[in-house]
Amino acid sequence: MLLLKRRLPTLRLESGAGSHVLRVFLFFLAFYLLLTFYVRGQSYRDPGSVFFNPWTAYDTSYTDVRLEEADLYIESVTNASVFPKAGPEPGLCVGIASIARHGVRYFKSTVGTVLEGLSEAERADIHLILFIAHTDPTEHPAYSEPWLHQVADQVLLYDPETVDIEHIHSLETDAAKVSGREKALFDYTYLLQACEAANTPYAVMLEDDVVALDGWHHRTRNALDSVEKQTAEIGASKWLYLRLFYTEEFLGWNSEDWFIYLIYSVLAVSLVACTCLGIRQYRPRIQSHLSNPTILLLSAICTPLLIGLFFAAGRVTTLPLPEGVHLMPRFGCCSQAFVFPHSRIPDLVDLYRSRHIGYVDMITEEFANEHDELRWAVTPIVMQHVGRRSSKGASGDPNVPLRHKYKSELSDVEKLWNFGFETNNADSLRAEHEYVKEHE
């Protein structure tokens, strides 16, 4: 009987400790479930998240606003009698090459988003070259439309005296268009040379399937100032490009960095355990609340679950790129919108000519890696790809509703998308742009 009485306090203590651990776990579980629902609502646009929802993440919201504004602008230009043009010393050569695409037209919308909302001073800072990349330019529907010649400072066509028209014509056949890598690279080089001849400090090379942000000009100008400043600060004498578009598709958790993630995860678990032990050591009053089972629960179960949720949320959600200009030597994609300094155009022209066949972005990145070139990107991006409206996607016709798809059903071109771009607020951007124009 005496032995039983001595055992009773111990049993009560163990029972109390067990119930305390259970209460801690249930409280954590409730918190964890609420946190999971919150994270799910925040990361559905993150392509690296387990909560990514392609049924809504690819929806166009701000893009639709810009396309509507672009159409209204082109319509107003068509009916106007005076057309703004480049000033005597523009700072940017904006080059856009276009070919006729079957069943889809977005060249006009691209040009409209580039020009819509610009002040007279901003438009004067741009030498706009629109390149109709056909040996017979009448094959492109825009060539016979008045707006093209009204908005452009230069409508670029192939010059028979400087190019092999017959060879280019051979690249326009259906068989040659299957890959299209030779003609696309030739056209890009040809347009880049035209921008070199314009003798502006910078060349902005855009593909004809992008949508420009309201205020893209002043943001790009500010970004270029930052590029020049940061390049000088790190002691470099030159840089290769500034990227105005990238997709978050390649900015997730990279498998090659798994060891770093593991180290930080182990450190997090160790930090929690050591912190609990330290608190218990120096605060004896709460020793009963930080028993060994409780510490084990917090460090070995709760912390790993939180770490798992951190990674499940996606890198773009948990560790987003900071706003401003930053280096992007890896995972930058693709060639939709580059800014090149005038001094680097000869290097690039020689590079593309020497390669003759290939994709612009891949050739440029290979060259940059070999020569350790500085590559910059601006965040938030100021250009968007048409994504699922691409001629290589499901439908380029804006009047045809897009069918919802699972991510596995999307082509690479359809996934060429910046999800953050669609979160822009049109009114806020317009107000920012108006403020800049008032103080220019």
Please tell me the least confidently modeled range out of 150-154, 290-294, 316-320, 430-434: 290-294
272-305: pLDDT as tens digits? 999 888 887 777 676 667 788 888 899 999 999 9
* Cβ–Cβ < 8 Å for 393, 413: yes
pLDDT at 16: 53
Of residues 137 and 102, more confidently modeled: 137
358-413: pLDDT as tens digits? 999 999 999 999 999 999 999 999 999 987 655 454 444 444 444 456 666 677 77
The structure tokens 């400090």 sit at: 201
Q: Domain spans of the chain?
A: 25-56+253-313, 58-251+320-438
Q: Is the pLDDT of residue 232 over 90?
A: yes
Return mean pLDDT, the chain. Answer: 89
**CATH code linked to domain 58-251+320-438:** 3.90.550.10
Short-list 121, 153, 390, 365, CA closest to 241: 365
CA distances from 111 to 67, 211, 303 (A): 10, 8, 51
Angle of helix 62-78 relative to helix 107-115, nearest 10 degrees?
Answer: 90
39-92: pLDDT as tens digits? 999 999 999 999 999 888 888 899 999 999 999 999 999 888 888 999 999 999
pLDDT at 86: 95
Give kind and range of the element (H or E) at residue 371: helix 360-371
pTM over 0.85: yes
Write out the DSSP string of 153-198: SEEE---TTTS-HHHHHHTTSHHHHTT-HHHHHHHHHHHHHHHHHH
Residue 63's Cβ-count burial label (10 Å; 0-12, 13-18, 19+) is buried
Alpha carbon 126 to chain centroid distance? 24
117-140: pLDDT as tens digits? 999 999 999 999 999 999 999 999
Backbone angles phi, psi at 419, to 5 degrees: -70, -30
